[in-house]
Amino acid sequence: MIIGIPKEIKEEENRVAITPAGVSAFISHGHQVLVEKGAGLGSGIVDRPYEAAGATVIESSSEVWQQANLLMKVKEPLPEEIHLMRSDLILFAYLHLAANESLTRALTKKKVTSIAYETIQLEDNSLPLLTPMSEIAGRLSLQVGAWCLQAENGGRGVLLGGASGVRPGKVVILGAGISGSTACQVAAGMGAHVNVLDVNPSKLRYIHDITGGRITTLMSNRANVEEEVVDADLVVGSVLIPGAKTPKLLSRSIIKLMKPGTAFVDISIDQGGCAETSHPTTHSHPIYIDEGVVHYCVTNMPAAVPNTSTYALTNATLSYGLEIADLGVMKSMHENPALARGLNTYQGKVTHAGVSTALGIGLTTVEEVIGG
Ligand SMILES: NC(=O)c1ccc[n+]([C@@H]2O[C@H](COP(=O)([O-])OP(=O)(O)OC[C@H]3O[C@@H](n4cnc5c(N)ncnc54)[C@H](O)[C@@H]3O)[C@@H](O)[C@H]2O)c1
């Protein structure tokens, strides 16, 4: 197959869908790879290593789109890319179609085969192409939270690790999933005092076990949440209920009770956020102060570290990309049910139940499509 890698054109998106190592893998499987000139620059990867790995670097984005059989992207195509779609194109990217009716209609009209990173799902219900980004957001939350706490940003002026003879800062983490547990490890590594809350006892047990009890784990309920956050220096929101809006664990009245200058990093903002006071921000204006609390609510945190994010993302996407390229769409879906769950549109039909329900467009099941 010919694999096409265009440069991302969405604002603030500096990741790229393949690394030079990924190019080598496709080439060694007998495929051809076309990379748009400068596609990796935002992630600190120049054209030469792509060429050294066997890719052909092409000046024009539209040529990459036109020649590719399998087009791998990071983010969804933008309106200006719609005219480049065609019925024999396989598109593999983060698509988030349930929230994007116009793109869904364009993909079905153009009969594109689209496979969404975020709906590839393993038997245990985990989402392997979302996990690396949660891990990165969790790690970043401490870095940005520590920055929010600095006096010049309106923070309390507390250093999380404290100093000799001075107490460390208190970090409270709401949600002990992928992002919450990585945030816990970084917070503990910085020398902070860390308390984490979740509704799932097995998540709390995991944290307790891996940190040897150094982190306090607490059941998440209204009383515990309130008691913890009013005494915190940094609160991290990393709660998720799959398929639902994030619960508002922090009402405005609780936020009001928090100490002035407390930092609050709401990772879960991309699903609505876990505080009544949260609203989305961008990397160019990441923070605002409400009720005296410094809020950081950036919806695409991994974009702040595109180099790391690109490697983490492509580590996860490559094996699926190779499967599609080696076996073709039908056979790869037959052989790998996780990949089949990623199919969102095929030959003008919507093939993902979540997208169909969200947009009120009729569903053709993947089983009907692949005949199994
Ligand atoms: N802002 C960003 O750039 C960015 C990046 C990656 C992920 N995210 C978002 O971060 C959120 C967390 O992602 P994740 O992969 O860590 O999810 P996850 O499913 O691994 O973890 C979520 C945790 O929340 C817990 N939870 C549910 N209800 C709770 C409650 N009432 N109180 C306390 N805990 C509760 C769950 O038990 C689970 O352990 C998601 O909304 C995800 O979309 C945002």
Domain boundary (254, 273, 304) is at 304
In this structure, what CATH number is given to the domain that contains residue 346? Answer: 3.40.50.720
Q: Which residues contact 80 (CB under 8 A, 6 or more apart)?
A: 9
Q: Are residues 276 and 328 in the same domain?
A: no
Is 96 among the catalytic positions? yes
Residue 126 within any structural domain of the chain: no
Is residue 270 among the annotated active site residues? yes
Is residue 358 pLDDT above 80, yes or no?
A: yes
Are residues 326 and 298 both part of a single domain?
no
Longest pairwise C-alpha distance within the chain? 68
Please report whether residue 180 resides in a domain.
yes
Question: Structural domain tally of the chain?
Answer: 2
Task: Examine the pLDDT at 250 and tell me if it is beyond 90.
Answer: yes
Instruction: Report, as an integer, the average pLDDT of 333-342.
Output: 96
Does 158 share its domain with 29?
A: no
**Residue 360 Cα, ligand 1 centroid: separation in angstroms?**
27
Residue 351 lies in a domain: yes
291 and 142 fall within a common domain = yes
The boundaries of the domain holding residue 173 are 131-304
Q: What is the pLDDT of residues 156-175, one digit of tens each?
A: 999 999 999 999 999 999 99
Residue 58 pLDDT greater than 90, yes or no: yes
- The answer to whether residues 195 and 295 belong to one domain is yes
- pLDDT of 246 over the 70 cut: yes
Same domain flag for 316 and 339 = yes
The pLDDT tens digits of the residues spanning 106-115 come to 999 999 999 9
Atom number, ligand 1, closest to the C-alpha of residue 197: 33
Strand, helix or coil for residue 7: coil
- Confidence check: pLDDT of 28 > 70: yes
pLDDT at position 372 is 61
Look up the pTM and report it. 0.91
| Percent of the residues in the chain that have a pLDDT greater than 70, as a whole number | 99
pLDDT for residue 243: 64
- Picking from 263, 286, 304, the residue at the C-terminal end of a domain is 304
Query: How much distance in Å is there from the Cα of 28 to the middle of ligand 1?
Result: 38
Q: Are residues 148 and 292 in the same domain?
A: yes
Tokens of 245: 């809006």
Distance CA 162, CA 183 (A): 18
Examine residue 76 and state whether it is found in any structural domain, yes or no.
yes
Same domain assignment for residues 286 and 173: yes
Q: Are residues 232 and 283 in the same domain?
A: yes
106 plus 140 within the same structural domain: no
Q: Is residue 103 part of a domain?
A: yes
Q: 304, 326, 345 — which closes off a domain?
A: 304
- The answer to whether position 125 is within a domain reads no
Quick one: how far is CA 262 from the chain centroid? 26
**Interacting residues of 84 by C-beta distance below 8 A, sequence separation 6+:** 62, 65, 66, 77
Which residues approach ligand 1 with their CB closer than 6 A?
133-134, 137, 174-180, 197-200, 203, 220, 238-241, 246-247, 249, 267-271, 298-302
